[in-house]
Amino acid sequence: MNPQKILEEVKRGESVILDVRTDGEWSEGHIDGALHFDLARLMQGEKLSLDLNTHIYTYRRSGGRATTALSILEEQGFKNTTCMTYIVTGK
């Protein structure tokens, strides 16, 4: 996975980077252009208002939240999801 390629896809509106961390973690730093949607909201059944064919990249600070989010998104019908191995460390 090429981070520059992903960022270019996002800029062109072809993909979304989904940050499923908490509000506090988001405020500590995040990828520019990422969409913030706390995993807890997904777990409570809230849905993203995106086309089901949108390529969604989830990423993590640590642990399995991005993978959990990916599973929920797939259950919701999203067809093009990828869990990035990029680890967020700050601003």
Query: Looking at residue 62, what is its pLDDT?
Result: 65
Helices (H), the chain: 3-11, 23-28, 39-43, 65-75
The pTM (predicted TM-score) of the whole model is 0.86
| Least confident segment among 2-6, 18-22, 69-73 | 2-6
pLDDT tens digits along 53-89: 999 999 766 658 888 999 999 999 999 999 886 554 4
Rounded Cα distance, 6 and 17, in Å: 8
Q: Which two tokens stand for residue 50?
A: 């995106």
